[in-house]
Amino acid sequence: MSDEQNQGGQFGLERLFVKDLSFEVPSSKVFLGEWKPEMDVQLNTETTRLDDTHYEVSVTVTVTAKNDNATAFVAEVKQAGIFLITGVPEAQLTQLVGAYCPNILFPYVREAISDLVNRGSFPQLLLAPVNFDALFAQAQQQRAQQASQQGTLQ
């Protein structure tokens, strides 16, 4: 097959790694009472262009568990991947790094959070699946609304 016939884009996961990880139990008194936690889960994605063909995409999950209004634990994992992406139009590239890559990374960050919490001597914590495609579409819609509002203000 000649190069002219093979002009489609190229996509690949080249490296998967934990970029940052932390677990904190501020007070051991949390183990003495009844366990009825309130969980706050924060999710963030980030993309960095490394060179012409490589992108680092990361998903950060921070879980704060409170029990009787006291912080029981804070677990945070930043899972990252280096992706090779070439020959992809800009609109598709934005979708790839904004939704598709985080979908690939999330099971790993989910497992790492579960393992951290378990090693901290707390009951198993399984994060619910996340629809990054829906989150990406929502973020795109919000950006479009903000842009149209700024256009009408000028």
Tens digit of each residue's pLDDT (9 = 90 or more) over 74-109: 999 999 999 999 999 988 999 999 999 999 999 999
CB 79, CB 18: distance < 8 Å: yes
- How far is residue 7 from each of residues 1, 3, 42, 53, 55, measured CA to CA in Å? 11, 7, 39, 15, 20
Task: Please state, rounded to an integer, the average pLDDT across all residues of the chain.
Answer: 91
pTM of the predicted protein model: 0.86
76, 61 contact by CB (below 8 A): yes
Those residues with Cβ within 8 angstroms of residue 33's Cβ, 6 or more apart along the chain or in another chain: 67, 68
Contact criterion met (CB below 8 Å) for 21 and 77: yes
Local confidence pLDDT in tens for the 154 residues of the chain: 333 334 678 999 999 999 999 999 999 999 998 999 999 999 999 999 999 999 999 999 999 999 988 999 999 999 999 999 999 998 899 999 999 999 999 999 999 999 999 999 999 999 999 999 999 999 888 888 888 887 666 5
What CA–CA distance (Å, rounded) separates 50 from 62?
A: 25
Domains (range + CATH), the chain = 47-138 (3.10.420.10)
Torsion, Cα of 64, 66, 71, 74 (10° steps): -20
Other C-beta atoms lying within 10 Å of the C-beta of residue 82: 16
Return d(Cα 97, Cα 150) in angstroms, integer. 26
